[in-house]
Amino acid sequence: MKAVICTRYGPPEVLQLKEVERPVPKDNEVCIRIYATAVTSGDVRIRSFTVPLSFWLMARIALGIRKPKTSILGSALAGEIESVGKDVRLFKIGDQVFAATGHGLGFGAYAEYRCMPEDACLAIKPANVSFEEAAAIPFGGITALHFVRQAKIQSGQQVLIYGASGSVGTYAVQLAKHFGAEVTGVCSARNLELVRSLGAKRVIDYTKEDFAKSGVTYDVIIDAVGKSSFSGCMRSLKKEGIYINVVATPAIAVRMRLSSLGRSKKLVGGSVTPTAEALIFLRELVESEKLRPVIDKRYTLAEIVEAHRYVDKGHKRGDVVISVQHPRPA
């Protein structure tokens, strides 16, 4: 089968399309014929080894000393089950599925086939979206859902989402609205209408206005990209508000711990554990048209280097998806 191999840490050019051995499912696994995947910030971070200096040694040990331990990256997929192990009961051949395959789950979605345990972060894909749209859901959708749930949003609360036009941000806006919040999105000028269309009641162009200087306070502030001013967020948070940083650096994590001492404000960071339950929840929202994936650009597997170059620029809207194979005719 064809797969994209990450030969070492570095720029997009370290990714090479090669022929590799096709995987065979174990007794409890399904083999998925992949039709689409996505280029996520997690894939880019590992490929380029872009980590905070304080994490450098720990990350090298965890991810690989000279090159990634997992040579085939890819944090999400959508496709069709090609074969199943003898003990599989939850899925059958021909099922159309989508899955999260990121850090801790083995990656491997930049390929034509991927085997996964049936109890992994895997579910039947939403019936009303394409494979490319389904592949855009797991990374941003599961991350946003995890942190929005942490916020325990109540109807009528004021929620600000910084980085509202990115992969996590586009889902966070929609999910916060779904749970009853009045959402303010912060993004660049070219994305204002997109964020409004996702349900934000107010949208702020960060290049022209600093939300932290407006005097408006919020029940929940979610920084989906790790680029807002921490002190500004603290000023803009209500007395018993909740601050969430999706990609908190070690320095911010320390400030969050210190700032939470003796205060009624709640500060939340940390990692996300993808689950099939989360995928199923997102699928139901997509099928009821309460949630929609946002796709910025589409590439083929052979264009993976160009796709990574684009994502490296840091200005993508929603997700960048990769067409791996053409779906079989119905």
**What distance in Å separates the CA atoms of residue 8 and residue 10, rounded to the nearest whole number?**
6
Residue 69 has pLDDT above 70, yes or no: yes
pLDDT at position 68:
87
State mean pLDDT over 182-203: 98
Give yes or no for residue 151 having a pLDDT over 60: yes
Residues 79 and 96: their CA atoms lie apart, in Å, by 6
Lowest mean pLDDT among 62-76, 148-162, 311-325: 62-76
Which pLDDT band, with edges at 50, 70 and 90, does 328 fall under? confident
Min mean pLDDT across 60-64, 183-187, 255-259 is at: 255-259
Q: What is the pLDDT of residues 209-267, one digit of tens each?
A: 999 999 999 999 999 998 899 889 999 999 899 999 998 655 566 666 666 655 666 77
Amino acid identity of 78? A
Q: Which domains does the chain have, with CATH numbers?
A: 2-137+293-323 (3.90.180.10), 140-268 (3.40.50.720)
Note the pLDDT tens digit of each residue in 5-59: 998 999 999 999 999 999 999 999 999 999 999 999 989 999 998 876 666 777 7
Q: Return the beta strands (E) in the chain as ranges.
A: 2-6, 15-19, 29-39, 76-84, 96-100, 113-117, 122-124, 158-162, 182-187, 202-205, 218-223, 237-245, 266-268, 295-300, 319-323
pLDDT (tens digit per residue) in 70-81: 899 999 999 999
Query: In terms of Cα–Cα distance, which of 187, 184, 252, 253 is closest to 219?
Result: 184
Question: What per-residue confidence (pLDDT) applies to 50?
Answer: 81
